[in-house]
Amino acid sequence: MRLLFIRHGDPDYEHDSLTEKGMREAELLAARMQGIRADAYYVSPLGRAQKTAQPTLVRNGRSAQTLDWLREFVYPIVLPETGEKHLIWDFMPAFMQENGQLYSAQDWMKVPFIAQSDVPAEYIRVCDGIDSLLAEYGYRRAGTEYETDRPNKKTLVFFCHFGATGVILSHLLNFSPVAFLQHFAAAPTSVTTVFTEERERGKVFFRCTGYGDVSHLYAVGEPPSFSARFCETFEDTEERH
């Protein structure tokens, strides 16, 4: 089985929509996706994901099922020393250094400021969502792997968000979502590809073969949006700090 996770186009967060650039990106994505034979499409309920999916769905004469657990993962934690609210992909390097438990796949939810927030319950909700969907296709979670008696080569496409994709990947690949979201950034309309591997009969791991691919933008000279990244150098005050 192949899973394709697509981030929405360049966002207009104020209106939960896309910028003009985001609409161009969505059309370029649709041209790329026209050659992919998908068995099912799924989309976040948020407007920016819906608008990103639309050109692909129209071009392929298809429809998508809206899944609430694909919405963006925007559940804040409260920093212990300052009382400030932060999302789990917005920590400074020094803070991650001081809280090394955040890198642990087994223990990240036990960190007090994580445990006291809505993050654990919402994380479990997303994990249950993807596991329930995969079970419909014959793949059932069993510890850190999946089991199947109906292996297949179907392709599922998900139009969603940077944070949501990071959370799902952390579950499929068994690592901390905090660590992943701190160190990876997927540009708008990027495509992330994950395959099943059944190297032992009935036992399945997932493997990511490409993260955040924006080749459809580079092919026509459309620069990727900066969204999801922070400043490359501290002195650059025009980039997000």
Per-residue pLDDT tens digits for 170-180: 999 999 999 99
Q: What per-residue confidence (pLDDT) applies to 47? A: 98
pLDDT of residue 213 exceeding 80, the answer is yes
Q: How many helices (H) and strands (E) does the chain have?
A: 8, 12
* pLDDT tens per residue across span 128-173: 999 999 999 999 999 999 999 999 999 999 999 999 999 999 999 9
27-53 tens-digit pLDDT: 999 999 998 999 999 999 999 999 999
List 200's β-bridge partners, or say none. 203
Sign of CA dihedral 225, 230, 236, 241: positive
**pLDDT at residue 113 in the model:** 95
Taking 90 as the threshold, does the pLDDT of residue 229 lie above it?
no
pLDDT tens track for 51-67 = 999 999 999 999 999 99
pLDDT at 228 over 80: no
CA–CA separation, 145 and 205 (whole Å)? 6
Instruction: Give me 72's structure tokens.
Output: 């963006």
The pLDDT tens digits of the residues spanning 70-105 come to 999 999 999 888 899 999 988 999 999 999 999 999
Chain Cα centroid distance, residue 58: 23
Structure tokens at 120: 């654990």
Count of beta carbons in the 10 Å neighbourhood of residue 102: 21
User: Judging by DSSP bridges, how do beta strands 145-148 and 155-160 pair with one another?
Assistant: unpaired
> Could you tell me the pLDDT band of residue 111, with boundaries at 50, 70 and 90?
very high
Q: Rounded to an integer, what distance in angstroms lies between the CA atom of residue 140 and that of residue 132?
A: 8
- Cβ neighbours of residue 216 under 8 Å, at least 6 residues apart? 28, 29, 31, 32, 189, 191
Reply yes or no on domain 2-218 having CATH 3.40.50.1240: yes
d(CA 176, CA 101): 10
Residues 6+ apart with CB under 8 A from 218: 224
| Nearest-angstrom CA–CA distance, 192 and 231 | 23
Q: What is the pLDDT of residue 38?
A: 97
The C-alpha angle with vertex 55 and arms to 1 and 39, in degrees rounded to 5, equals: 20
Provide the 10 A C-beta neighbour count for residue 146: 22
Q: Which residue type is seen at 236?
A: D
Centre a 10 Å sphere on the Cβ of residue 170 and count the other Cβ atoms it contains: 21
Give the residue extent of every domain in the chain.
2-218
Burial 187-198 (b: 16+ CB within 10 A, else e): bbbbbbebbbee
Contacts of 172 (CB under 8 A, 6+ apart): 130, 194, 206
Kindly give the pairing relationship between strand 85-86 and strand 40-43: unpaired
